């Protein structure tokens, strides 16, 4: 499999202990099992990336300023791990970079829906210009997002994305990549489930800005789900109230 490094040449890593590895594996296995009920192909692809998810969970541990242990579910003083939800991506309605909140995205609040206008760029992550997206970089509420390879899936709406581009604050040399020509054909019979390519597994750091844009060929709202996990300090999402923006 492939990985989008975003220009990072040296990546720190902390080895997971057996309990931490089990926590990550449990979350990934749960995700794969539920995905398999909808799409065997999606579920198997997700599960096949388990070792990579483990690896990047170790990168998350090394990235955060305070060393903590990964647990599932999270507990005070630990790092949590969970399947991606909209609130892990758009973790604040209004960005505030000075406070470590760079939640720039075209996603609606508490939703996988993105409004698209044909011929105008929309952003899965970021908002163009200097408005780079980062996972939460708030004190005691750091977050690290890991998006699965080809983990961009449209559900229940008509595919509209034609091309994508992804770059970071330290690497912007790559041009666009396109959706495959059969994107508008569902990957599962009798279901509206469509899959887009990514440039490999995508780690999203709290301290490295990223822009991931798309160009739609049609206007309308698309429900674009991101398959993956996020590792976070417990205080980032300690209670149900924190799972709503």
Q: Could you read off the pLDDT tens digit of each residue along the chain, which spans 245 residues?
A: 999 999 998 899 999 999 999 999 999 999 999 999 999 999 999 999 999 999 999 999 999 999 999 999 999 999 999 999 999 999 999 999 999 999 999 999 999 999 999 999 999 999 999 999 999 999 999 999 999 999 999 999 999 999 999 999 999 999 999 998 999 999 988 899 999 999 999 999 999 999 999 999 999 999 999 999 999 999 999 999 999 99
The whole-model pTM stands at 0.98
Backbone φ and ψ of 138, nearest 5°: -80, 150
Pairing of strands 161-168, 177-178: antiparallel
Residue with tokens 């995700």: 31
Backbone phi, psi, residue 57, to 5°: -65, -35
Q: How many residues does the chain have?
A: 245
DSSP-assigned letters across all residues of 14-34: -PPPHHHHHHHHHHHHHHHHH
* Residue entry with tokens 């698309």: 222
3-state class (DSSP) for residue 38: helix
CB 131 within 8 A of CB 54: no
Model pLDDT, residue 68: 98
**What's residue 196's pLDDT?**
97
The two structure tokens encoding residue 8: 């990072």
Per-residue pLDDT, 30 = 98
Query: How far, in Å, CA of 222 to CA of 219, rounded?
Result: 9
CA angle at 8 for the pair 58 and 227, rounded to the nearest 5°: 55
Which pLDDT value is given to residue 10? Answer: 86
- Alpha-carbon distance 108 to 102, whole Å? 15
Check residue 59 and give its pLDDT: 98
CA distance 235 to 27: 19
**Residue that has been written with the tokens 């909140």 in this structure:** 101
How high is the pLDDT of residue 9?
87
């Amino acid at each position: 499999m492939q990985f989008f490094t975003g220009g990072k040449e040296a990546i720190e890593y902390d080895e997971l202990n057996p309990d931490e590895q089990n926590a990550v594996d449990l979350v990934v296995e749960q995700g794969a099992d539920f995905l398999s009920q909808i799409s065997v192909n999606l579920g198997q692809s997700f599960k096949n990336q388990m070792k990579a998810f483990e690896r990047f969970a170790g990168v998350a541990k090394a990235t955060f300023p305070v060393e903590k242990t990964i647990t599932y579910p999270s507990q005070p003083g630990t790092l949590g791990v969970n399947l991606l939800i909209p609130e892990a991506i758009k973790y604040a309605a209004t960005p505030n970079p000075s406070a470590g909140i760079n939640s720039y995205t075209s996603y609606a609040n508490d939703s996988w829906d993105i409004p698209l206008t044909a011929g105008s760029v929309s952003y899965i992550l970021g908002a163009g210009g200097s408005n780079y997206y980062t996972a939460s970089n708030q004190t005691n509420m750091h977050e690290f997002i890991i998006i699965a390879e080809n983990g961009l899936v449209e559900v229940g709406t008509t595919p509209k994305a034609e091309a994508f581009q992804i770059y970071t604050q330290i690497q912007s040399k790559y041009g666009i990549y396109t959706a495959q020509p059969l994107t508008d054909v569902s990957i599962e019979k009798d279901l509206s489930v469509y899959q887009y390519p990514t440039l490999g597994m995508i780690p999203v750091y709290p301290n490295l800005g990223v822009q991931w844009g798309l160009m739609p060929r049609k206007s309308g709202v698309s429900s674009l789900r991101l398959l993956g996990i996020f590792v976070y300090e417990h205080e980032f999402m300690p209670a149900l109230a924190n799972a709503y923006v």
